[in-house]
A = this chain, B = another copy of it.
Amino acid sequence: MKNQIEQYFDRLFPLNRSLTGNGVRETFSILKELVDFEITEVPTGTNAFDWTVPKEWNVNEAYILTPDGRRIADFKVNNLHLMGYSVPFSGTMTFDALKEHITTRPDMPEAIPYVTSYYVERWGFCLSHNEFLTLPQEGEYYVKIDTTLEDGFMTVGEAVLPGESDEEVLFTSYCCHPSMANNELSGMLALAFLYQLLKKESKRKYTYRFYLAPETIGAIYYLSQNGMRFKEKLKGGVVITCCGDKGDYTLKKSRSDSYFNSVFKNILSAKPYKELDFFPMGSDERQYCSPGFDLPMVCFTRTMYGEYKEYHTSADDKSVIDFTALEDYVFLLKELVDSIELDDYYENQSPYGEPQLGKRGLYPTLMKIEDRGESLKRLLYLLNYSDGKHSVLDIANKMNTTVMSFQNEIQSLIAKDLLKKKDHV
């Protein structure tokens, strides 16, 4: 799988994604090879709670000509050179006038910073600080920004894998960042390849939704359409982001206690990872966990946004990505899904004293001291704690092991009529 992930990475990386525009549409047209997205084009001016869908932005070209005749800050060379949502402009000016429109990062002098101005109309360029230092302070600069900022559409996509119950699970990431790798091409790729894995399952307990849209306004729009249903039906969800580097996993828990907080702790328990309480900065969990919704959504990353130095610069490129780590992240989300599909409340059908496992071939008939094995332990834990009040997850946590390790023993005990799924009331 990881080679395939890399191939898609290479195709998607150069596209000029933003809140809106053709870069987003091209991104979706490639991802549709993997995910059966239903695309919605949301018109400029659409209201979503306190927000309004902005104008659509597209770029033809943008660059600066220096007095000494160099063409710099060329959008065609790196789409980060142009500040996101720059309005059209062309004209000549002095260095002093121009520099008010230029952003650099002196602390990372080789990198082009990533800057946007979505909700105030202005224009600007981003340069590496080292390049900025080569600019002559005298003479005339020519600036060319051929963009359009007009009524149009915001492009969002959703795919659904239906399940038996009407409870839902949501995986979401965002697609508004231009050429940056970990934040946020890695998230789109993880979401798409997780979809690939889940699509193959013949049977699902839950309905799985996959939503990809620009950050913030995309999530708020989605909540305006689905939020009230999610308050009733959402079992849990994950904001997928910054998942392609080699760092340890980071779980940012949902705002209120939630089932997914617990399941993640179970599957991560044997791994080095960092657990953070919810905080209202960051990515789209800010919206999903806003107080009107307070949805059971976690944010799950490797090294978290803002915690690695390349974040929001041109240095967040392919060199940051480890495709094995990205694949492992996808497998871990698959284990999350497998765990919630397996997890349930069971009832021991022979709850008064232990059932006699020996006569059912589940217990050694010769009692020696020996390693009775983890499997026998799991049988005994399942029988003792399956009282309708402890789920498989609870039992796994008591044994300091994973939900998935109980798969075979649950089947054995069901087959011997010793365990039965609890009727939900």
Contact = CB atoms under 8 A, between A and B. Distances in A.
A21 to B, nearest CB: 17
Interface in A334-359: 348, 350-356, 358-359
Interface string A371-396: 01000010011011111000000000
A401 to B, nearest CB: 13
A352 B223 contact: yes
A353 B223 contact: yes
A302 interface: no
Contact of A117 (B118, B311, B366, B383): B366
Given A115-B366, A115-B368, A291 B354 contact: no
A384 B291 contact: yes
A237 interface: no
- Contact-residue bracket for chain A: 35 or more
A89 interface: no
Interface stretch (A1-9, A30-38, A138-146, A279-287): A279-287
A280 B223 contact: no
Interface stretch (A45-53, A68-76, A404-412): A45-53
A292 B118 CA distance: 62
A113 B368 contact: yes
Contact of A280 (B290, B366, B384): B384
Contact of A350 (B49, B289, B355, B398): B49
A227 B365 contact: no
A372 B286 CA distance: 16
A77 interface: no
A274 to B, nearest CB: 17
A384 B119 contact: no
B291 A387 contact: yes
B356 A119 contact: yes
Contacts of A286: 354, 380, 384
A255 interface: yes
Contacts of A281: 372, 377, 380
B119 A354 contact: no
B384 A255 contact: yes
Contacts of A348: 291-292
Contacts of A287: 353-354
Contacts of A358: 119-120
A403 interface: no
A312 interface: yes
A297 B268 CA distance: 34
Given A50-B350, A255-B384, A367 B291 contact: no
A185 interface: no
Interface in A275-312: 277, 279-281, 286-287, 289-294, 306, 311-312
A147 to B, nearest CB: 17
Contacts of A366: 115-117, 120, 122
A219 interface: yes
Closest 4 CB pairs of A and B: A292-B351, A280-B384, A291-B387, A292-B352
